[in-house]
Amino acid sequence: MNEGEGHSVGAVAKIAKVTVRTLHHYDEIGLLSPAGRTRAGYRRYVDADLDRLQQILFYRELGFPLEEIAAILDDDSVSPSEHLRRQHRLLTDRIRHLQDLAAAVEHAMEARRMGIQLTPEEKFEIFGEGYQEEWEQEAEQRWGDTEAWAESQRRTGGYTKADWQRIQGEMTELNDGLVAAVTAGEPADGTVAMDLAEAHRQHIRRNFYDCTFTIHRGLACLYVSDPRWTTTYEELAPGLAQWLHDAIVANADRHEKA
């Protein structure tokens, strides 16, 4: 090969953004041997060599070992078009995998920010099929600047799946008590109802934040003003949303007058 023909190893290294040492290694193992050499013995690469190098680097990026890359590229039964189709398929799979990884990272970031260390599957498992993740974002928008929200984030940030299962178990037991009371016809301003309302408040205080009677009254208003909360309680027992609202108000009145 004449001195001016082809590309020097330094030029190829610069074009492909690899080291000269890498190109020397590829030559030594027979993976990419340049088409010729100068009279002085320097490697000279032609365009076909650059095409092969591009293929090598593609498969290396996907994690293929050099021996396997050599076998793939040296298989004469595979046409250039088939190589392209294979690469497209591999890239598509890689993109899908990276998208899944990105989604997982985004979820982990959101979970840490929200202080809930659970996977989506665990949230549905613990909180039920009606659980919607967007409720977390809405909650932050409503109460993100309050001390109660900050306290809740500090406390729940360290909760495990077992902690959430315990909390949900307590809530289920409390709801069973509410259903039993309203079904039995207990008046919302009676002792049984007010004691259940106080148990509801204490459940929040133990697990999330200092739920004052004022805050508890605000939650009671949500139970009858927000259709989602109303539906949640009405599905447990007809009339329960209003009954719990009235019980919470009666309980707050009882303690504030004491």
pLDDT digits 0-9 by tens, 15-69: 999 999 999 999 999 999 998 888 888 899 999 999 899 889 988 888 888 998 8
Q: What is the pLDDT of residue 23?
A: 94
Q: What is the DSSP string of 154-172?
A: HHHTT--HHHHHHHHHHHH
pLDDT of residue 198: 95
Q: Assess contact for 252 and 213: CB atoms under 8 A.
A: yes
Residue 36 per-residue DSSP state: E
- Measure the CA angle with vertex 118, ends 115 and 101; round to 5°: 105
Question: According to the model, what pLDDT value does residue 199 have?
Answer: 94
Which range, 83-87, 113-117, 161-165, 186-190, has the best average confidence (pLDDT)? 186-190
**Arithmetic mean of pLDDT, 9-15:** 92
pLDDT computed for residue 227 by the predictor: 83
Count of C-beta atoms within a 10 Å radius of residue 209: 20
Predicted TM-score of the model (pTM):
0.48
Q: Above pLDDT 90, what percent of the chain?
A: 30
Query: Quick check: 193 and 239 in contact, CB under 8 A?
Result: no
Q: With residue 7 as reference, give the H or E element that holds it.
A: strand 7-8
- Least confident among 163-167, 191-195, 244-248: 163-167
What pLDDT score was predicted for residue 191? 95
What sign does the CA torsion over 159, 160, 163, 167 have?
A: positive
Confidence band of 128 (pLDDT split at 50, 70, 90):
very low
As a whole number, the mean pLDDT across the chain is 79
CB 1 within 8 A of CB 40: no
Determine how β-strand 36-37 pairs with β-strand 7-8.
unpaired
Residue pair 5/11 in contact (Cβ under 8 Å)? The answer is no
pLDDT score for 126: 37
Average pLDDT score over residue span 236-241: 92
One DSSP character per residue, 88-126 reads: HHHHHHHHHHHHHHHHHHHHHHHHHHHT----HHHHHHH
Distance between start and end Cα atoms, the chain: 103
Question: 31 with 69: CB under 8 angstroms?
Answer: yes
Contact 242, 235 (CB under 8 A): no
> Does residue 243 register a pLDDT over 90?
yes
